[in-house]
Structure 1
Amino acid sequence: MIRLSSRVRLLASGLSAVAGYVDAVGFLLTGGFFVSFMSGNSTRLAVGLAEGAGYAGLAFALIAAFVAGVSTGAFLGRKAGARRGPAVLAFVSLALALAATLAALAPLPAAILVLAFAMGAENTVFAQDGEVRFGLTYMTGALVKLGKAITAALMGGDRFGWAPHLLLWLGLVAGAALGALAFQRLGPGALWIAAAAMALLALAAARLDLAPATA
């Protein structure tokens, strides 16, 4: 994250903001499940299985949809080559638009699973050599790096090495707050805002070099 240009860092924070927005809408739609945070769904799956609760099925379906999205995004990214960023983000935007349509016309689970699929695909935007460099829709890794960077700064290392990780986390939190507010006013229609925002970020990505700077 630190080796990315400032513009790419801002793009990453914008993508995390959209992910937080979508996750908040999904959380409110389902009454407590996540469309981008699969650790939470994994815990709910385990608890549901232990209790024999029916919601375990939804938790598993969300996890499977997320993984399928990661796989599909990785495939598209490899096919797109140097145009990985805009290609994957345009695909995610279309998936979000489909989810918004399904939320209005079809049973709720269909839209929720498409949201999880879209969030999985989003995480492949910054992949390199087949590996995801950092997550955009979940913040545990970013917070671990934030803590380590703070310690490094206090011990004489990069004074502001923690800033990119904090910005990424703040983007997700701010996006989630906006998603909750939008859902209060628009209900499932709030997803159209996410689809439009992702389309704009895809256009922004087309103008940027998403590769990390060389050391």
Structure 2
Amino acid sequence: MKDYRRRDVALAVGLSGVAGYVDAIGFLKLGGFFVSFMSGNSTRLGVGIATGQWTMARTALALIGLFVVGVVLGALVARKAGEDRRSVILALVAALLAIAAALISAGFNTAGVAAMVLAMGAENAVFQRDGDVGLGLTYMTGALVKAGQRIATALTGGDRWAWGPYTLLWAGLSLGGALGAAAYLWFGVLALWAAAALIAILAAAKAWRESLRG
């Protein structure tokens, strides 16, 4: 993460926290499927196919497909708006989460969950660079691998703290997951509004900074 400023790292950790929060809500709502962690859904897809549990397989495949659509949507919006205008992607994610909360509250569970998954896919475009994901915000395997590699570098005389930001990304997602689960147990789907509101505030703050930058 050498190319990112501390402010960017803080934003990334916060967004990972939101991803964990939303993923925990989705996990509890769907009974063991994920809205941001597609490795888990891919495993469930394989298990479903192997064991003939076709409902499991169809659900996992649908979630994976929606996530990819969300990634495509986020990438296209980032390219259209300019990859340095992160406020636009944040606004998109906030809108999708608000739509998800509204739809599920109104009883349209399938459409609401679809909006959640689209939001999580689109969130990965916040740090898009030249059409590629600069920082993965909704999955932590890569971050943990990089943290381990940086620890090895530190142990052999390299940068002592390069592992820190990657560990913070993981910690942010894990803490967000705990908060999301607790919020869902207390408030049900209403907990999604908190995530939408937080992302909307971040979008407004980013838009203000971008306007000052010109």
Provide TM-score, normalisation by structure 1.
0.93
Counterpart of 1:73 in structure 2 is: 74
Q: 1:74-153 counterparts in 2 under 5 A?
A: 74-153=75-154
Moved more, 112-121 or 18-27: 112-121
User: 2:152 corresponds to which letter in structure 1?
Assistant: T
Quote the offset at 1:10 in angstroms.
0.3
In 1, the alpha carbon distance for the partners of 2:44 and 2:24 equals 17
The offset of 1:82, in angstroms, is 4.9
The Cα offsets for residues 62-95 of structure 1, whole Å up to 9 and x where unpaired, read as: 0011000000000000010155310011000000
**1:88-147 per-position Cα deviation (integer Å, ceiling 9, x unaligned):** 110000000000011111332221121111100000111111111121000000000000
Cα pair 1:15 1:201 within 8 Å, conserved: no
How many equivalent residue pairs?
Answer: 209
Task: Tell me the equivalent position of 2:35.
Answer: 35
Deviation at 1:179, TM superposition (A): 0.3
1:50 Cα deviation from its structure 2 partner: 1.7
Structure 2 regions of 5+ residues with no counterpart? none
Q: CA deviation at 1:208?
A: 5.5
**1:19 has 2:19 as partner:** yes
The equivalent residue for 2:177 is 176
Q: Residues of 2 paired with 1:203 and 1:2: CA distance?
A: 26
The answer to whether the Cα contact below 8 Å between 1:26 and 1:35 also exists between their aligned partners in 2 is yes
3-state SS, counterpart of residue 55 of structure 1? helix
In the TM superposition, 1:159-198 aligns within 5 A as 159-198=160-199
Q: Check the 8 A contact 1:146/1:166 in 2, yes or no.
A: yes
The 2-side partners of 1:45 and 1:175 are apart by 25
- Tell whether the 8 Å contact from 1:83 to 1:206 is kept in structure 2 after alignment: no
Letter in 1 for 2:28: L
Asked if the contact 2:83–2:129 (Cα under 8 Å) also holds between the matched residues in 1, the reply is no
Counterpart-to-counterpart distance in 2, 1:156 and 1:55: 48
Counterpart residue identity of residue 47, structure 1: V
- Take 1:142 and 1:45, find their aligned partners in 2: how far apart are those partners? 24
Q: Which amino acid aligns with 2:52?
A: G
Aligned-residue offset at 1:35: 0.3
Q: Which runs of 5+ in 1 are unaligned?
A: 210-215
Identity of aligned residues (%): 56
User: Tell me, what secondary structure is at the counterpart of 2:158?
Assistant: coil
Partner Cα distance (2:33, 2:79) in 1: 31
| Cα distance in structure 1, aligned partners of 2:22 and 2:192 | 7
Distance in 2 of aligned mates of 1:18 and 1:119:
9
Is residue 206 from structure 1 mapped to residue 207 from structure 2 by the alignment?
yes
Question: Contact (CA 8 Å) 1:146, 1:162: kept in 2 or not?
Answer: yes
